Structure 1
Amino acid sequence: MVKRKGKVLSVALAATLAVSLSACSSSSSTETSATDKGTGKTDTAVATAGASSGKINTSEFQAISYVMLGDKPKNGQFEKVMDKVNALLKQKVNAKLEIKWVEWADWQTKYNLLLASGEPVDLITGATDWLDTWQNSQKGAFMPMDKLLPQYAPITWKEIPPEDWAESKYKNQIMIIPENHYTQWVNHGFFYRGDWAKEFGITKPITDFQGLGAYLQAVKDKKPGVIPWDTNGTGLGIANGYVNSVTDAIELPIGTGMINVIFGKSFNDKYKAYSPVFDDTFVNLAKMTKEWGDKGFWREDVLNYKGDNRSLMEAGKSSIDQHHTQTYLGERKKMDQLQPGSDLQLFPFSATRNNLVSLSITHGGTSLGAHSKHPERAMMVYEVLRQDPEVYRLMNYGMEGVQYVVKDGKRYRPDGYDVQRDEFYSNFWGGRIDKNEIPEGDTWAGKENLFASYDKIKKPYPYGRFVFDKASVNNELTAVTQVVNQMAPALIYGKAGDPVKAVEDFRTKLKSAGFDKLQAEVQKQLDAFKTLVESSK
Structure 2
Amino acid sequence: MSKRKHVTALISCLLAAASVASGCSTGGSNAGGTASPGTGGKAASDDKGKAPYEINLVYMGNESADIKKVAEAMSKITKEKINATVKLQPISAGAWSQQTNLALTSQEKIDVIMASSLYSNFTAQISAGHFIALDELLAKYGKDITKLVDPAYMNAGKVGGKQYAVPTNKDMATQGGFIMRKDLLDKYKIDVTAIKSYKDLEPVLATIKKNEPNLLPIATVTSSTPVDNLPFYDSLVDKLGVLPNNENNFKVTNLFELPEYAELLKTMRKWYEAGYFSRDAATATEPAADVVKANKAFGFFNQMKVGSSESQSLRTGIEMVAVPMTAPLAMTSSVTNFMHAIPRGSQNPEKAMMFLNLLYSDKELVNLLNWGIEGTHYVKKSGEVIEYPKGVDVKTVGYNAGNISFMFGNQFLNYVWPNQLPDIWKQTDQFNKNAKKSVALGFTFDATPVKTEVGAVNNVLQQFKAGLETGTLDPEKTLPTFISRLQAAGLDKIIAEKQKQLDQWKASLK
TM-score, normalised by the number of residues in structure 1: 0.79
More displaced 10-residue stretch of structure 1: 157-166 or 291-300: 157-166
Give 3-state SS (helix, strand or coil) of 1:370's partner.
Answer: coil
| Separation (CA, whole Å) in 2 of partners of 1:109 and 1:183 | 28
Matched, 1:90 2:79: yes
Matched, 1:238 2:212: no
Compared CA separation, residues 384 and 58, structure 1 to 2 (3 A): farther
Mapping of 1:58-137 within 5 angstroms? 59-73=50-64, 76-128=65-117, 130-137=119-126
Q: Percent identity?
A: 22
Residue of structure 2 equivalent to 1:505: 481
| Separation (CA, whole Å) in 1 of partners of 2:94 and 2:359 | 27
| Separation (CA, whole Å) in 2 of partners of 1:374 and 1:454 | 38
The higher-RCO structure (CA 8 Å, 6+ apart) is 2
Q: Which amino acid aligns with 1:528?
A: Q
| Separation (CA, whole Å) in 2 of partners of 1:518 and 1:277 | 14
| Separation (CA, whole Å) in 2 of partners of 1:61 and 1:453 | 42
Shift of residue 162, structure 1, vs aligned partner = 4.9
Residue of structure 2 equivalent to 1:29: none
Shift of residue 223, structure 1, vs aligned partner = 0.9
Matched, 1:297 2:276: yes
Compared CA separation, residues 390 and 201, structure 1 to 2 (3 A): closer
Structure 2 contact 377–388 (Cα < 8 Å) conserved: yes
Compared CA separation, residues 106 and 393, structure 1 to 2 (3 A): closer
Matched, 1:477 2:454: yes
Residue of structure 2 equivalent to 1:519: 495
Matched, 1:418 2:406: no
Matched, 1:276 2:265: no
Q: Which amino acid aligns with 2:385?
A: R
Give 3-state SS (helix, strand or coil) of 1:274's partner.
Answer: coil
Residue of structure 2 equivalent to 1:145: 134
Residue of structure 2 equivalent to 1:468: 445
| Separation (CA, whole Å) in 2 of partners of 1:6 and 1:512 | 48
Residue-by-residue CA offset, 1:219-253 (whole Å, 9 max, x unaligned): 11011211222434x244312334x2xxx421111
| Separation (CA, whole Å) in 1 of partners of 2:165 and 2:236 | 18
| Separation (CA, whole Å) in 1 of partners of 2:149 and 2:429 | 26
Shift of residue 105, structure 1, vs aligned partner = 1.0
Shift of residue 78, structure 1, vs aligned partner = 2.5
Structure 1 contact 126–430 (Cα < 8 Å) conserved: no
Mapping of 1:72-471 within 5 angstroms? 72-73=63-64, 76-128=65-117, 130-160=119-149, 162-179=151-168, 181-183=169-171, 186-205=174-193, 206-232=195-221, 234-242=222-230, 244=231, 248-254=232-238, 260-269=239-248, 271-325=250-304, 328-335=309-316, 338-339=317-318, 342=319, 344-350=320-326, 354=327, 356-357=329-330, 360-414=334-388, 416=390, 417-422=392-397, 423-425=399-401, 427=404, 429=406, 431-433=408-410, 436-444=413-421, 454=431, 457-471=434-448
Residue of structure 1 equivalent to 2:36: 9
Query: What is the Cα-based RMSD across aligned positions, in Å?
Result: 3.1
Give 3-state SS (helix, strand or coil) of 1:141's partner.
Answer: coil
More displaced 10-residue stretch of structure 1: 147-156 or 159-168: 159-168
Residue of structure 1 equivalent to 2:45: 48
Give 3-state SS (helix, strand or coil) of 1:300's partner.
Answer: coil
Residue of structure 1 equivalent to 2:17: none
Compared CA separation, residues 117 and 484, structure 1 to 2 (3 A): same
Q: Which amino acid aligns with 2:488?
A: S
Shift of residue 448, structure 1, vs aligned partner = 8.7
Q: Which amino acid aligns with 2:106?
A: S
- Between Structure 1 and Structure 2, whose CA radius of gyration is higher? 1
Structure 2 contact 77–365 (Cα < 8 Å) conserved: yes
Compared CA separation, residues 461 and 412, structure 1 to 2 (3 A): farther
Q: Which amino acid aligns with 1:91?
A: E
Shift of residue 277, structure 1, vs aligned partner = 1.7
Shift of residue 184, structure 1, vs aligned partner = 6.1
| Separation (CA, whole Å) in 2 of partners of 1:187 and 1:147 | 34
Shift of residue 320, structure 1, vs aligned partner = 0.6
Shift of residue 273, structure 1, vs aligned partner = 0.9
Shift of residue 373, structure 1, vs aligned partner = 1.0
Structure 1 contact 272–523 (Cα < 8 Å) conserved: yes
More displaced 10-residue stretch of structure 1: 445-454 or 464-473: 445-454
Residue-by-residue CA offset, 1:41-96 (whole Å, 9 max, x unaligned): xxxxxx433xxxxxx666122211112112323xx232322221112222322221
| Separation (CA, whole Å) in 1 of partners of 2:484 and 2:337 | 32
More displaced 10-residue stretch of structure 1: 103-112 or 92-101: 103-112
| Stretches of structure 1 lacking an aligned partner (at least 5 in a row) | 22-46, 50-55, 255-259
Q: Which amino acid aligns with 2:90?
A: W
Residue of structure 2 equivalent to 1:24: none
| Separation (CA, whole Å) in 2 of partners of 1:495 and 1:440 | 38
| Separation (CA, whole Å) in 1 of partners of 2:88 and 2:249 | 38
Q: Which amino acid aligns with 1:144?
A: A
Residue of structure 1 equivalent to 2:5: none
| Separation (CA, whole Å) in 1 of partners of 2:102 and 2:249 | 32
Structure 1 contact 6–438 (Cα < 8 Å) conserved: no
| Separation (CA, whole Å) in 2 of partners of 1:382 and 1:413 | 27
| Separation (CA, whole Å) in 2 of partners of 1:223 and 1:298 | 14
| Separation (CA, whole Å) in 2 of partners of 1:442 and 1:230 | 23
Compared CA separation, residues 329 and 114, structure 1 to 2 (3 A): farther
Structure 1 contact 409–439 (Cα < 8 Å) conserved: no
Q: Which amino acid aligns with 1:329?
A: E
Compared CA separation, residues 217 and 521, structure 1 to 2 (3 A): same
Q: Which amino acid aligns with 1:229?
A: I
| Separation (CA, whole Å) in 1 of partners of 2:434 and 2:106 | 43
Shift of residue 161, structure 1, vs aligned partner = 5.5
Name which of 495, 504, 510 aligns with 1:528.
504
Compared CA separation, residues 504 and 476, structure 1 to 2 (3 A): same
| Separation (CA, whole Å) in 2 of partners of 1:410 and 1:147 | 35
TM-score, normalised by the number of residues in structure 2: 0.83
Shift of residue 218, structure 1, vs aligned partner = 0.8
Count of aligned pairs between the two proteins: 476
Give 3-state SS (helix, strand or coil) of 2:329's partner.
Answer: coil
| Separation (CA, whole Å) in 1 of partners of 2:449 and 2:34 | 48
Compared CA separation, residues 464 and 59, structure 1 to 2 (3 A): farther
| Separation (CA, whole Å) in 2 of partners of 1:301 and 1:129 | 22
| Separation (CA, whole Å) in 2 of partners of 1:126 and 1:189 | 24
Q: Which amino acid aligns with 1:325?
A: M
